[in-house]
Structure 1
């Protein structure tokens, strides 16, 4: 006779806070491949974004070096940034050198 399986407790589901949700959305938009190529993105404020959360995330972005922020009339914010020194540096291609083996 088979033993009854133990009932596993369902994993607790933690609700994301408003600031976590907004931060994740902004981060996703900045890291999107198209935004990375064009080096700018416009973040639109949603109805679900509270004043406190919006101000805190915008404050964090304004403190970030290398990001230029433009506050638009429709409450959106356009972020622009320059290529990092590693992205913009030219790729060095090494040519194989024909040398006589020393042995």
Structure 2
């Protein structure tokens, strides 16, 4: 079994919105049977290192997340799990978690 991915869910304030993103990421990954640790944080506290595999955020944070050297999933609708799934799947395939 592959090591769990480290995924960071990001929003502006780190309040309720980020927990919706985190919950949806966890649900989608569970459906796909992909092991992951999902962490919630706000944009000002975000630190990415080699241990962060994927960042998931609203499209509102595209500029702040550019050039971080980490794969980023930007969501138009943070409540749309299907959008999240469609954007995550190619990355999960690239990383070898889906065939």
The normalised TM-score by structure 1 is 0.27
- Structure with more of its chain in helix, by fraction: 2
- Structure with more of its chain in strand, by fraction: 2
Greater relative contact order, per chain length (Cα 8 Å cut-off, separation 6+): 2
Structure of larger gyration radius: 1
